[in-house]
Structure 1
Amino acid sequence: MCRYPETVAHIDLGIDEKQYPGIIGLRMYRPETAKPLYDLADVLLRAPNSLSRGERELIAAYVSSGNECDFCRDSHSAFAAAQLDGGLPLVRDVCVDPEAADISPKLRALLRIAAAARVDGRHVTADLVAAARAESATDLEIHDTVLIAAAFSMFNRYVDGLATLAPEDPKAYEATAVRIVEHGYTV
């Protein structure tokens, strides 16, 4: 079952949506637009950075949770869980209440920035940035947090705006998590 009871995307993707849910089906439908999107995700979530890959995936999962995008929340939760010591319980705790989750003060401050950017970029204030810097966040980490939040808000709207399938079973995302961790997002 998925978020949309008819389990059919708003447009004919020409694929079996159960086999290719969410953005995976959209990638197959329009590979020429998928490539730059996947390249962006690869740079933001996997390229060398002082934030770990798991932390960046956690930001993507958190933003997707706030946007109520089931597919992106569940897939990036699985990707983060595969790369963080706390696994899926930690990811779920962050998505429910990052203030109470067992994460570093720096990551908590960056998640506040991500939450603000998710709503409206103008909600990212000098105070939020100063608070992140006070927890030792670098300008690159702040930049990438805002860009992850902005990009995932777009991805969330893309996936949900076309009513793609989102499997409810978290196990449906595990095989993809292994592939993403090993090989990344590049098409």
Structure 2
Amino acid sequence: MPHISLPEHLPGITGLLEYRLDTALPIRELTQILLRGESTLTPGERELIATLVSARNETRFCTAAHTKAADLLLGDDETARAVKQDYETAPVSEKMKALLAIAAHAQRSGKDVTPEAVERAKRAGATDREIHDTVLITALFCLYNKYVDGLASVTPTDPVYYQRLGERIVQGYKRPPGGFPVPPKM
């Protein structure tokens, strides 16, 4: 049960963002820029970063949502699972493994990102912007994870819910015009 009164039909982060539209706007805009804006990392790769961070933070809602979005964007349901299990053996490029290592370090503490981790990423072909964006995506999802868990947002258990949410996330992070309608009572 959430710690505050939230729209019952909007579990997870969605209800929290609807609760405070003024704070939601810049958060959504930043998320849209980082995960769907111009980048040399694909949207699927950026969703893998969000997935890894959410899994390491043990935030079930965000982990399920971004795993499904990554699955849809990558066209398989094994890569995100493998990244969560052990990104070093996951079927991703060496550059992506190095960026995921940076994300893992930054998820624990920004001070855990070492010069060696950054050098590894650069040797694997990562640009300064990719390294920057990896750390910023990590920080953003730590914020989301603490937001969802700190207010005890509802976490659905139905995989169908996450399939639909993943499909919506694939389209981007902007609020639908008019918001999210309340479903009719059955």
Q: TM-score, normalised by structure 1?
A: 0.91
Return the match for 1:143 from 116, 132, 142: 132
Distance in 2 between the 1:168 and 1:89 partners? Answer: 20
Residues 109-148 of structure 1 correspond to what in structure 2 (within 5 A)?
109-148=98-137
Which residue number in structure 2 is paired with residue 40 of structure 1? 30
Give the counterpart letter for 1:72 in structure 2.
C
Match of 2:3 in 1: 10
Equivalence for 2:181: none
- Percent sequence identity over matched residues? 47
1:49 Cα deviation from its structure 2 partner: 0.3
The number of residue pairs the alignment matches comes to 175
Question: What is the identity, as a one-letter code, of the residue corresponding to 1:137?
Answer: A
Q: Which runs of 4+ in 1 moved over 6 A?
A: none
Q: Letter of the aligned partner of 1:59 in structure 2?
A: I
Equivalent position to 1:63, from 53, 63, 69: 53
Gaps of 5+ in 2: 176-186
Pairwise CA distance, 1:167 = 1.4
Partner of 2:174: 186
CA positional deviation for 1:88:
2.1
SS at match of 1:83: helix
Whether 1:76 aligns to 2:69 is: no
TM-score, normalization by structure 2: 0.91
Residue 20 of structure 1 is matched in structure 2 by 10
Match of 1:52 among 42, 46, 59: 42
The secondary structure found in structure 1 opposite 2:132 is helix
Q: Distance in 1 between matches of 2:68 and 2:117?
A: 28
CA distance in 1, matches of 2:150, 2:144: 10
SS in 1 for 2:58: coil
CA separation in 2, counterparts of 1:186 and 1:35? 9
- CA RMSD after TM alignment: 1.0
Secondary structure of the 1:61 match is helix
Unaligned segments of structure 1, at least 5 residues: 1-7
Secondary structure in 2 matching 1:88: coil
The structural deviation recorded for 1:169 is 2.6
